[in-house]
Amino acid sequence: MGVALLVGGALYSLQSKISAATTTPSAGLKSEPFVLRPIEIESRVIDLGFSRFSIPKAVPGDPFQVNDTLFVNLNSESQRPSLTICAPFSDRDATVQDLLDQLKILLGIPSISWFEAQKRTLEIQPFNIFGVLAKGYKASVRDLTLLAVKNLSFGSARDTVKVFENETTGAFIYKAEIGDFIEVHDKKAGLSQLFIVPPQTGDVNVIASAIIKTYRAESGDLTEAGLLKRLSATGISKTTPRTESTTDTHKVRFDQVAEEVRNRRIERSK
């Protein structure tokens, strides 16, 4: 009787965790390979000091640092950002390292990068208590953890996540409510950045291909102060040209993006 109660209690607890992990919008996301498009148009280089990449010349606007943050917008004549470049994210971040250490134990592997962890989450699909019987308890706990990381990584995705990987670079491309997201990882530097492309900017596949092919991150001081110092050294202006009629639109868009990234960082710290 005592054993039955213990088993029943464990299954009830696991069922609660299953429900929480498998009912998120991202739980059922699947992936497909992203094929780089040939770049047959002119491009231009964007140098942020800590990372460097090219974008199609057709993407309008000059880079402007948003206030004193690590966000950079490309602002066109309409004053609406044609591209938002988010703050870089390092695998060496203490919170990320703690999460990766836990995943290494669960997966029984000696090492794993943040890109590899994210990629593995896309292999996991929702399951129920009957799936536990097939997987086993240990594998179920592992997969529930990966589903939680999946929601953390791709909670904004609205459809299939496209994945690119070669020896030096990894990337995820997907649609979100505020635009198309391109998340690029420099494997050697252990640094990644999120690019947000509004619908009016152009073909996201071409833009993503240009960034992925050329993205290179620099190692060194990856503290916020160190990154801001390197960004400042590029000479990128902090003054965003705008008119009174477009100020509110610009601020609302930035607030949306900032909130998205802030939520990701909060979730990572839990």
| Residue pair 142/117 in contact by the 8 Å Cβ criterion | no
Report if residue 22 sits inside a domain: no
Report if residue 4 sits inside a domain: no
Report if residue 204 sits inside a domain: yes
Question: What is the residue whose two structure tokens read 């420099």?
Answer: 186
pLDDT of 95-108, one tens digit each? 889 989 989 998 99
Contacts of 219 (CB under 8 A, 6+ apart): 189, 190, 191
- Give the structural domain span for 184: 43-92+158-269
Report if residue 58 sits inside a domain: yes
Q: What is the CATH number of the domain that holds 205?
A: 3.40.1000
Query: Cα-flanking dihedrals φ and ψ of residue 243, to 5°?
Result: -115, 165
Report if residue 216 sits inside a domain: yes
Query: Cα-flanking dihedrals φ and ψ of residue 218, to 5°?
Result: -105, 135
Question: What is the residue whose two structure tokens read 């309409």?
Answer: 78
Report if residue 97 sits inside a domain: no
Report if residue 19 sits inside a domain: no
- Per the structure, how many domains does the chain have? 1
pLDDT of residue 5: 44
C-alpha distances out from residue 83 to 76, 194, 236, 263, Å: 9, 11, 15, 20
Chain centre to alpha carbon of residue 141: 24
Q: Which own/partner contact pairs does 108-117 have at CB distance under 8 Å and 24+ positions apart?
A: 113/185, 113/187, 113/190, 114/89, 114/185, 114/190, 114/192, 115/165, 115/170, 115/185, 115/187, 115/192, 117/149
Report if residue 138 sits inside a domain: no
| Residue pair 37/209 in contact by the 8 Å Cβ criterion | yes
**Cα–Cα distance for residue pair 144/165, rounded to 1 Å:** 25
Averaged pLDDT in 10-residue chunks for the chain of 270 residues: 48 59 78 90 93 94 90 77 92 88 91 95 81 75 88 90 97 94 96 92 94 93 91 85 40 47 49
